[in-house]
């Protein structure tokens, strides 16, 4: 309860600071609309924004699920195979050296302006955090536990499946919490590069028509989606980890 109250207090403080900035700077609405004007735009265009939000949410969730699965399997492969570590880890590091923003036009060219180019962008952004967090947790399994399992005659596959993976689940949960925040970034970047629907597309459209209040309304909905997804993933991961520890 206190967490929600702190969040509400922070939101109220942010709105007051927003309004104070407009009043002190005497900013016109086409530069920075006030909270009331943005709320009016959100209410007047609620069906339009909701339709685009559904598209963006579907892209985010699909990218998040696929990225989590692919990242988890990659981390297990890296932990289980020295050959995979020597071959794939440099490629993972290299993939992070390439700005994801630069890949968005290529993905749009290869996959088109539809749904899957945005899913691919979300997947690329969250793949490395999930893989890295889970892999680090897998290799940091206490050596005493692994040694005891081997003394008792456990095979490497059994050690990985019954010991290292359960012990590394908190690391996977940390990666998923980060992924829940990063996935919307990938989806919106893809929509900015080329799309006909989605919150990112709506923001560009509103900006081009000088509807800054509508652009802020779409942005606020995107922020609410991101925060809700983060808290949902955090709650689910926390609940599962507590059940496993009992």
Average pLDDT over residues 106-120: 89
- For the segment 157-175, what is each residue's pLDDT rounded down to a tens digit? 888 888 899 999 999 999 9
Domain 32-245 sits in CATH at 1.10.3720.10
Q: For the CA atoms of the chain, what is the radius of gyration?
A: 22
pLDDT confidence of residue 215: 95
Cα angle vertex 60, ends 63, 116, to 5°? 55
Q: What pLDDT is recorded for position 60?
A: 96
Residue 3 has pLDDT above 70, yes or no: no
pTM of the model: 0.91
- Average pLDDT over every residue of 31-39: 90
- What ranges do the domains of the chain cover? 32-245
CB-based burial label for 16 (10 Å; 0-12, 13-18, 19+): exposed
């Amino acid at each position: 309860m206190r967490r929600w109250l702190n969040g509400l207090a922070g939101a109220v403080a942010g709105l007051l600071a927003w309004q104070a900035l407009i009043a002190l700077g005497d900013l016109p609405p086409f530069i920075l609309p006030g909270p009331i004007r943005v709320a009016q735009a959100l209410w007047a265009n609620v069906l339009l924004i909701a339709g685009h939000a559904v598209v963006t949410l579907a892209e985010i969730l699909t990218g998040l699920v696929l990225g989590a699965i692919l990242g988890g399997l990659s981390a297990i492969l890296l932990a289980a195979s020295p050959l995979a570590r020597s071959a794939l880890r440099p490629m993972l590091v290299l993939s992070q050296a390439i700005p994801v923003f630069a890949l968005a036009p290529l993905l749009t060219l290869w996959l088109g302006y539809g749904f899957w180019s945005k899913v691919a962008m979300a997947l690329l952004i969250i793949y490395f955090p999930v893989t890295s967090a889970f892999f680090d947790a897998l290799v940091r399994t206490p050596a005493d536990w692994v040694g005891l399992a081997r003394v008792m005659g456990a095979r490497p596959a059994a050690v990985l499946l019954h010991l290292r993976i359960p012990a590394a689940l908190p690391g996977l949960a940390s990666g998923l919490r980060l992924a829940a925040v990063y996935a919307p970034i990938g989806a919106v970047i893809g929509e900015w590069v080329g799309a006909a629907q989605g919150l990112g597309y709506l923001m560009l459209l509103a900006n081009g028509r000088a509807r800054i209040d509508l652009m802020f309304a779409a942005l606020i909905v995107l922020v609410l989606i991101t925060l809700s997804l983060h808290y949902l993933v955090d709650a689910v991961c926390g609940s599962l980890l507590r059940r496993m520890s009992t």
